[in-house]
Amino acid sequence: MVSLPKRNPEKDHLLTPENAALVIIDYQPPQIYTVRSMNTGRMVNNIIALARLARVFNVPTILSTVNVKSGVNPDTIPQLRNEIADLPSYDRTQINAWEDKEFLDAVKATGRRKLIMCALWTEACLLFPSLDALNEGYQVFPVVDALGGTTIEAHENALERINHAGAQPTTWNSVACELQRDWARTETVEGFLQTVIDQNEDWGWYEEMRGRGKRLQVPVGAR
């Protein structure tokens, strides 16, 4: 078994830790409570998994909220905020985060052109900045199982509009595997697998059952 030489991680057409940034917008109680397009517990687990993966792979993360400083809305849910406690949060009044200067400056400061996008709701706070980012030449990867809309129709219609504009939909597990890419890159395997186990709803239970030593010897998908 011989891996091909590692591709240039900054120019790779796939997501890599060196060419991507994670954008998290408005995971606040009012938005969480009003999601009707998927189970909110699962959605929260998935966005937490993404935040942990970003830390494992050293992917820059941008966090934004709406109307916290004005006193209208509470801050980011603590389950997520605790994972990224050291990050600044860019609060704004705009529904479209791309129209907030501090947020936009933070995104551009990462130097990354591939944006892993997560926002609530799909039909507003994901849709609008995604369309703007695509219009400015960014590549946008909406994480569809870490998103939610106020109705199934609103969620699906917004994703369809974004996809027609050129977005590349993905899932949290696909992002994890795309960043890891090769089990021979052992420096991130343990963090990758632990994140999957902690997500506690998809295939991580199988890795936990097999035990730590076996996991590292024969990871799922390597056979």
Q: Is 125 a catalytic residue?
A: yes
How many angstroms separate the CA atoms of 172 and 7, rounded?
Answer: 23
10 Å CB burial of residue 137 (0-12, 13-18, 19+) is exposed
β-strands 61-66, 114-119 pairing: unpaired
- Provide the total of helices (H) and of strands (E) in the chain, helices listed first: 10, 5
Contact 204, 197 (CB under 8 A): yes
CB-based burial label for 211 (10 Å; 0-12, 13-18, 19+): exposed
Q: Distance (Å, rounded) from C-alpha 191 to C-alpha 116?
A: 19
Token digits for 204?
Answer: 């991580």
Give start and end residues of each alpha helix (H) in the chain. Answer: 29-33, 40-56, 78-81, 101-109, 127-135, 152-164, 172-180, 189-199, 204-210, 212-217
Kindly name the residue from 22, 56, 125, 131 that is annotated as catalytic.
125
Q: Residue with structure tokens 């942990």?
A: 52
Active site residues: 125
